[in-house]
Amino acid sequence: MFMFSSEPELLHDLRAPVLLAMEAPLIAGTPLGGREALMAHLSDIVIYQGAPRLPVACKLPPSWWSPVRVIGHFSTCAFNVIPCPNRCSVKLTRRDLPDHLQHDCPKRKVKCEFCGSEFTGEAYENHQGVCPQESVYCENKCGARMMRRLLSQHSMAECPKRTQPCKYCGKEFVFDTIQNHQYHCPRFPVQCPNQCGTPNIAREDLANHVKDNCGNALVLCPFKDAGCKHRCPKLAISRHLEETTKSHLTLMCNLVGRQRQEILELRREMEELSVSQDGVLIWKLSDYSRKLQEAKLRSNHEFFSPPFYTHRYGYKLQVSAFLNGNGSGEGSHLSVYIRVLPGEYDNLLEWPFSYKVTFSILDQSDPSLSKPQHITETFNPDPNWKNFQKPCSSRNSLDESTLGFGYPKFISHEEIKKRNYIRDNCIFIKASIDIPQKIMG
């Protein structure tokens, strides 16, 4: 008979017909020899048919058990390694089996808490997160909660935070903002404000429609700048033009008159801006031969220079020339005169005008070849001469009724042909005023 020793140790008689797999202590649940060796050892004992009542002892901490039958003990031993009854291929101790069957076994039966369907553990893992009956929140974060099977319909047709394209311009918008967008959408269809009947005009095209295409749009008469105030639908403007041709012609004539006067005023202002303000005028008379012939044909024909000022805020003067002479020089000489024009600052000046005046006909000879020989005359104004008194505002540069003061025989027609007083069919007449420096300052 086999007995446990006091160490404890399982002793065996070499004469006994029992094949032991190992001579290590037979202690269930201990690592001595390993679990597989122990199971092989126990298997040899059970298989042996000649010792059905072989007494053994199993040590379970903290005390020894009394001897038990091998088959009876191992059918209930907590440390006995057995296969999962669900045939999931896992082997484990009997004491770990309940936890395995409840939580880990892939072939265990699990009931879904949402839909009530029963699954194997393996299938349940795939079912989790997709159960159509599970309550979930809207993915668009609108705050709504519903069963998963209703989520798709909610996201497509009910969720206020879903994205939706504008059916007019095609751009994507959050659903609860799309109505506000349509108040500004450039492709939103609107009605013509003139009620012309054109349907579905895109908002961004409305301005061009009213301007170019709408027959009911009110337009001004094309002669509005001439003074016509008529306003009518575009379709009726042709009739208006046909019926008012005469009045439009009158308006245009009046407009031309006003524009002519404006041109004269602008020309006068330009002359004022371009005049010299340093007391010196150099006047170029171009096309001299033609102008001389014109003067010979028209008695006392006078040419006028641009006006100029003696100094800033000073006297306004003008030079005139009779190319065929005037008075005692008529027909034989060139006559030059100067006169005072009404100026902007006459009320600030001393009268009569009394500053020395110098006239010159400039020699245009090349200075590098010969010294120019200008023809020059100087005079001091006569204070009793009426043209040197303060001028009245009615006098202007086109007034030919009053002569200035000057020289009727300034240079003869014979002498002017000498040297280079005439060059390229031009002559230059210079006038300078001797203004004291204290006045110039």
Question: What does the domain layout of the chain look like in residue ranges?
Answer: 67-104, 217-273, 275-391+401-439
Q: What is the tens place of the pLDDT at every residue in 220-244?
A: 999 999 999 999 998 888 999 999 9
For residue 206, the SS3 value is: helix
Residues 289 and 306: their CA atoms lie apart, in Å, by: 20
- pLDDT category, 82, cuts 50, 70, 90? confident
pLDDT tens readout for residues 132-176: 888 889 988 888 888 888 888 888 888 988 888 999 999 998 888
User: Residues, the chain, total?
Assistant: 441
Please indicate whether the domains covering 67-104 and 275-391+401-439 agree at the CATH topology level: no
CA angle 211, 214, 217 (to 5 degrees): 75
d(CA 342, CA 60): 140
* Beta strands 189-190 and 172-174, pairing class: unpaired
**Which tens digit of pLDDT belongs to each residue from 145-157?**
888 888 888 888 8
Query: 273-312: buried (b, 16+ CB within 10 Å) or exposed (e) per residue?
Result: eebeeebebebebeebeebbeebeeeeebbeebebbbbbe
C-beta of residue 409 within 8 angstroms of C-beta of residue 328:
yes
What's this model's pTM, rounded to 2 decimal places?
0.45
| Average pLDDT score, the chain | 80
At residue 440 the predicted structure's pLDDT band, cuts being 50, 70 and 90, is low
> How does pLDDT run across 41-72, given as a tens digit for each residue?
444 444 333 334 444 444 444 444 444 455 56
The region of weakest confidence among 226-235, 271-280, 415-424 is 271-280
Give CA–CA dist 217/198, Å, rounded. Answer: 12
Name the helix (H) or strand (E) containing 109.
strand 109-111
- pLDDT over 50 (residue 9): no
Decide if 439 contacts 311 (C-beta within 8 A): yes
Average pLDDT of the residues in 16-42: 41
What CATH fold (topology level) applies to the domain 275-391+401-439? 2.60.210
**pLDDT, tens digit (0-9, with 9 covering 90-100), for 311-354:** 989 999 999 999 999 999 999 999 999 999 999 899 999 999 99
Tell me the two tokens of residue 195: 């009620």
Indicate the CATH number of 67-104 among 3.60.15.10, 3.30.40.10, 3.40.640.10, 3.30.930.10.
3.30.40.10
Q: In which element (H, E) is residue 240 found?
A: helix 237-243
pLDDT over threshold 80, residue 18: no
| Structure confidence at residue 87 (pLDDT) | 77
Distance CA 435, CA 441 (A): 10
Identity of residue 372: P
Per-residue pLDDT at 36: 52
Q: In 266-393, where do the E strands start and end?
A: 280-285, 303-304, 308-309, 316-322, 333-341, 357-361, 375-379
| More confident position, 261 or 119 | 261
How is residue 221 written in tokens?
């008469």
pLDDT of 266 over the 80 cut: yes
pLDDT digits (tens, 9 = 90+) for 179-224: 899 889 999 999 998 888 888 899 999 999 988 888 888 889 999 9
